[in-house]
C-alpha cells in the first residue's frame, strides 16, 4: 500500500504486510482507490470510544496506544499497535462504533480503508482472510492476559506483567518507555501512579530493573517474570 506522490511527509519505513502480497493486482488497485492516507502527530487522538466507525485503519508507520474508558476519567490501556497492524477491524462485521480509543504515541501514518472494500476481499480471498485473522489472534491472546492480571494478580504482579509486555522484543527498537508517562504505565497495569512509582523503586533496589530518567531497563527479566507469575 505505497503512498502516492505529494502526500504527507515520511515518518519512517513503510510496513510491508504479508497479507497484501496475497491479493491480485486488480484487487490491490480497488483497495487503493478506497482508502485515504493520514498523518497523526504524537499525542493526537485518532478516534474515540463510542464514535461512529466508518473505516478500518491500517498502520503504515508509528505506534498507537489503544485504551478503553472505564468510567469517569479512569481508563485502561490495552495494547500498543504498531506498523502492519489493523485498528477497528471489528467494524467489518457490523460493529458501527469504535469499542476503544486510539492515540498516537509518536508521529504515525495510517490508511483509512473503506470497510466494505476490505470485507469483499475477505470474502473472496480465504488466504488473505486467514493471514489477517492470525494477526488478530495475537491481540486476542494479549487481552486474555489482561483479564488474568486484573482478576488474580496483586499490584506488584500487575506492574511486572506490564513491564514485561512493554519491554518485549517487538518494542526493543522503539525505546518505548521514553514515549510513556508513569501514568501511562499505571493505566496499563490498572494500578495508581503512586503505586507504580513505589514499586519501580522497589524493583530497582532489588536489582530487577534500572531507572534512567523516564527510561526503564530490565537487566533481570527472569526475576520480573517470577513476580509476574506469582504476584
Q: What is the pLDDT of residue 31?
A: 67
Using the structure block, give the residue that is written with the C-alpha cell 469499542.
99
Q: What is the pLDDT of residue 121?
A: 80
Dihedral angle over CA of 23, 29, 33, 36, nearest 10: 60
Q: Which of these, 36, 88, 207, 40, lies nearest to 224 by C-alpha position?
A: 207
Using the structure block, give the residue that is written with the C-alpha cell 482478576.
151
Q: Which of these, 83, 79, 80, lies nearest to 111 by C-alpha position?
A: 83
Report pTM: 0.83
Q: Which of these, 99, 32, 79, lies nearest to 60 by C-alpha position?
A: 32
- Tell me how far apart the alpha carbons of residues 85 and 204 are, in angstroms, rounded to a whole number: 34
- Tell me how far apart the alpha carbons of residues 189 and 154 are, in angstroms, rounded to a whole number: 10
E strand segments, the chain? 35-40, 45-47, 55-61, 63-71, 74-82, 86-87, 101-104, 108-114, 210-212, 215-217
**CB of 99 within 8 A of CB of 107?**
no
Q: What is the pLDDT of residue 157?
A: 94
Residue 88, all three cell numbers: 477497528
Q: What is the pLDDT along the chain (231 residues), one digit of tens a residue?
A: 433 333 333 334 454 455 566 566 666 666 666 678 899 999 999 999 999 998 889 898 999 999 999 877 789 999 999 988 889 988 888 888 999 999 999 999 998 988 888 888 888 888 778 877 777 767 777 777 888 777 888 999 999 999 999 999 889 888 899 999 999 999 999 999 999 999 999 999 999 999 999 999 999 899 999 999 887
Number of other residues whose CB lies within 10 A of the CB of residue 207: 10
Amino acid at each position: 500500500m505505497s503512498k502516492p506522490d505529494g502526500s504527507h511527509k515520511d515518518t519512517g519505513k513503510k510496513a510491508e504486510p504479508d497479507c497484501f502480497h496475497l491479493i491480485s493486482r486488480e484487487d490491490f488497485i480497488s483497495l487503493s482507490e478506497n482508502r485515504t492516507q493520514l498523518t497523526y502527530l504524537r499525542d493526537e487522538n485518532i478516534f474515540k470510544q463510542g464514535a461512529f466507525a466508518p473505516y478500518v485503519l491500517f498502520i503504515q508507520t508509528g505506534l498507537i496506544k489503544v485504551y478503553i474508558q472505564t468510567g469517569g476519567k479512569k481508563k485502561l490501556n490495552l495494547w500498543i499497535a504498531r506498523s502492519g497492524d489493523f485498528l477497528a477491524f471489528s467494524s467489518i462485521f457490523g460493529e458501527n462504533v469504535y469499542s476503544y480509543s486510539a492515540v498516537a504515541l509518536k508521529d504515525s501514518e495510517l490508511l483509512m480503508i473503506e470497510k466494505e472494500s476490505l470485507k469483499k476481499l475477505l470474502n473472496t480471498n480465504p488466504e488473505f482472510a486467514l493471514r489477517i485473522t492470525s494477526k488478530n489472534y495475537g491481540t486476542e491472546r494479549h487481552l486474555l492476559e489482561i483479564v488474568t492480571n486484573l482478576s488474580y494478580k496483586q499490584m506488584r504482579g500487575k506492574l511486572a506483567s506490564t513491564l514485561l509486555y512493554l519491554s518485549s522484543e517487538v518494542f526493543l527498537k522503539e525505546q518505548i518507555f521514553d514515549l510513556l508517562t508513569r501514568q501511562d504505565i499505571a493505566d496499563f497495569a490498572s494500578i495508581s501512579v503512586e503505586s507504580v512509582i513505589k514499586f519501580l523503586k522497589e524493583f530497582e533496589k532489588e536489582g530487577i530493573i534500572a531507572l534512567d530518567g523516564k527510561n526503564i531497563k530490565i537487566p533481570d527479566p527472569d526475576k520480573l517474570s517470577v513476580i509476574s507469575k506469582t504476584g
